Amino acid sequence: MVNELLKLVEGKKVKAYDLTQPLGIHTHFWPYYPPFEMKYFKRKPEHGVNAQYIQSSWHIGTHLDAPRHFQTKGKTIDQLPLEWTFGPGVIVDLSKDMDDLAVYTPKMIEDRADVRDGDILILHTGWYKYAAYGPEADEERYILRHPGAHPDMVDWLIKKKIHIWGVDAVSTDHPMDLPIGRFLGKGTFGQCEKVRAICEKKFGKAQLDKLFPVEDYQLTHNKLFPHECIHLENLGGEIGKPELQNKRVVIACAPIKIEGAESAWTRVLALVSK
């Protein structure tokens, strides 16, 4: 696959678009996870060199979840072959139809772009703009009210043989399929009650349990990882560029190769022939 992709761009000018969110101390971390910490442990006046130390979970900023994240015997990041992490793909613009707690469906995707079997699929919902370093930073909206996958996405992704997909939101799952809508802040700050109330108004109370049944908790993690269909979360950067919308591109995602890692920070690029 690597050689085939190199042939595709051989002799051509290629423009790279960065689909990665910045990572730093202001990046919001997943609820109840530890924050990103960075400090100097050597400075040039004393040691002749500047050197830094970091401490964090992987689940902050743009990252790729490996099957091990939800499967005890699943592959870890270092076990994913290089040719598996980049290849032909498509960026699908859903942003005009996404609002607070919206769901996206296979039909929405196929109505907009040519998605082929085995693609790397990137979904542009527009939610990256609310992330910590986004132009309309709003961490509560970014974390608590992001769009998420309709249940039909699971069978469709498996049928399309898509092994990596990604979204410019904190999770591929809808907040109602996450702690956010199930128990986050219950009885204290009441986030889950607020999320449920918005969803009842949006979808109708009678439809809520049908759309987000109990057994669909962490839907896209629990039901896709056993099929080695994994995802990128917190995409952003240049994902909203007009020239990328609903276009076929080459996607390159390079996770840090850490032995035994269940996830890893990842630089994601869209490569386009000029």
Question: Do the beta carbons of residue 2 and residue 88 sit within 8 Å?
Answer: no
Distance from C-alpha of 232 to C-alpha of 265, rounded to nearest angstrom: 9
Is 205 a member of any domain? no
Q: Please enumerate in sequence order all residues whose Cβ is within 8 A of that of 109, keeping only pairs 6 or more positions apart, or say none.
A: 92, 94, 115, 121, 123
pLDDT in tens, 165-223: 999 999 999 999 999 998 887 665 678 999 999 999 999 998 998 999 999 999 999 99
* 54 occurs within a structural domain: no
Which DSSP string do the residues of 174-206 spell out, in sequence order? Answer: -GGGSHHHHTTTTTTT-HHHHHHHHHHHHH-HH
Mean pLDDT of 78-84: 93
Rg (CA), the chain: 19
Instruction: Assess if residue 209 is contained within a domain.
Output: no
Residue 3 has pLDDT above 80, yes or no: no
Give the percent of the chain with pLDDT over 90: 88
Q: What is the pLDDT of residues 83-139, one digit of tens each?
A: 899 999 999 999 999 999 999 999 999 999 999 999 999 999 999 999 999 999 999
Is 233 a domain residue? yes
Cα distances (Å, whole numbers) of residue 63 to 6, 21, 34, 166, 242 = 25, 9, 16, 10, 24
Checking if the pLDDT of 247 tops 70, the result is: yes
Q: Which domain holds residue 247?
A: 2-22+59-173+218-273
Place of tokens 């101390």: 25
Domain membership flag for residue 98: yes
Over range 126-153, report the average pLDDT.
Answer: 96
Partners of 121 in the β-ladder: 90, 165
Largest CA distance in the chain: 66
Structure confidence by residue, pLDDT tens digits, 9-34: 666 688 999 999 999 999 999 988 99
Residue 164: per-residue pLDDT: 98
The reported pLDDT for the residue numbered 249 is 96
Confidence band (pLDDT; 50, 70, 90) for 273?
Answer: confident
Identity (one letter) of the amino acid at 14?
V
In a domain? residue 184: no
Report the pLDDT value the prediction gives residue 138, as an integer from 0 to 100: 96
CATH code, domain with 244: 3.50.30.50
Domain count for the chain = 1
**What integer pLDDT is reported at residue 274 of this predicted model?**
75
- Give domain status of residue 85, yes or no: yes
46 assigned to some structural domain: no
**Cβ-based neighbour number of residue 260 at 10 Å:** 10
As a whole number, the mean pLDDT across the chain is 93
Give the model's pLDDT for residue 53: 96
Residue 220 identity: T
pLDDT band at 4; cut points 50, 70, 90: low
| Band of residue 55 on the pLDDT scale cut at 50, 70, 90 | very high
- pLDDT bucket at 6, cuts 50 / 70 / 90: low
Please give the structure tokens belonging to residue 10.
Answer: 């051989």
